[in-house]
A = this chain, B = another copy of it.
Amino acid sequence: MLVFYCALSTCSNFKGYYVIRFDAVIHFAGLKAVGESVSKPLLYHDNNIVGTITLLEVMAAHGCKNLVFSSSATVYGWPKKVPCTEEFPLSAVNPYGRTKLFIEEICRDLRNSDSQWKIILLRYFNPVGAHPSGLIGEDPRGTPNNLMPFVQQVAVGRRQALTVFGKDYSTKDGTGVRDYIHVVDLADGHIAALKKLSDPKIGCDVYNLGTGKGTSVLEMVTAFEKASGKKIPLQIAGRRPGDAEVVYASIKKAETELKWKAKYGIEEMCKDQWNWASKNPFGYGSLESKK
Q: Mark A95-127, 1 if CB is under 8 A from B, else 0.
A: 100100010011001101100000000000000
Evaluate contact between A110 and B49: CB separation under 8 angstroms: no
- B residues in contact with A46, CB < 8 Å: 53, 57
Evaluate contact between B53 and A42: CB separation under 8 angstroms: yes
- B residues in contact with A143, CB < 8 Å: none
Interface residues of A in 180-208 (CB under 8 A from B): none
- B residues in contact with A261, CB < 8 Å: none
Of B41, B54, B112, which contacts A113 at CB under 8 A? Answer: B41
Main secondary structure of the interface of A (DSSP, over half): helix
Chain B CB within 8 A of A178 CB: no
- B residues in contact with A110, CB < 8 Å: 41-42
Once bound together, how far apart are the Cα atoms of A109 and B41, in whole Å?
Answer: 6
Q: How far is the CB of A195 from chain B (nearest CB, A)?
A: 26
Once bound together, how far apart are the Cα atoms of A45 and B103, in whole Å?
Answer: 10
Interface residues of A (CB under 8 A from B): 38-42, 45-46, 49-50, 53-54, 56-57, 60, 92, 95, 98, 102, 105-106, 109-110, 112-113
Chosen A-B contacts, 26 in total, with CB atoms closer than 8 Å, are A38-B109, A38-B113, A39-B113, A40-B113, A41-B106, A41-B109, A41-B110, A41-B113, A42-B53, A42-B60, A42-B110, A45-B53, A45-B109, A46-B57, A49-B49, A49-B50, A49-B102, A50-B50, A50-B53, A50-B54, A95-B109, A95-B113, A98-B105, A98-B106, A98-B109, A102-B102
